[in-house]
Amino acid sequence: MTNPFEPKPQDKAAWRQESAFDASALQDDKLGGGRNLDSILRIPVTIQVVLGSATMPVANLMKLGRGAIVPLDHRVGEPVDVVVNGRIIARGEVVVVEDDNSRFGISLTEIVGPPTNDLNG
């Protein structure tokens, strides 16, 4: 079974340069030979899965009540964004957790590398 968190081979070169998940970079001399690696790996991050968004006037927002439906900009079957501390790191599909059918999870389908500094795109 492949690791869903492992970048694709074509993404590895760019991803390794700036990735916060590259443990070998954390063990370099920058952090005193890895002494602080455990401290860094314990830093909590906020993970969000964005199913979609909507824009509406405040007047319509004030009319919302129990049972109201707010249409989102994503459609069924489109990948959802996985956001860590405000930055998109991956995309995936919503799935039902096998062990507990009352819970949802995300099956990662794409790892998003760091943003490029290329002015052309």
- How sure is the predictor about 32, in pLDDT bands with cuts at 50, 70 and 90? low
Q: What is the pTM of this model?
A: 0.57
102, 90 contact by CB (below 8 A): no
Confidence (pLDDT) at 35: 65
Name which residue leads in pLDDT, 53 or 120: 53
Residue found by looking up tokens 């869903």 in the block: 4
SS3 57: coil
User: Exposed, middle or buried: residue 29 (CB in 10 Å: 0-12, 13-18, 19+)?
Assistant: exposed
Domains and CATH numbers, the chain: 7-43 (no CATH), 45-113 (2.30.330.10)
According to DSSP, residue 7 is labeled: P
pLDDT higher than 60, residue 62: yes
Confidence (pLDDT) at 107: 92
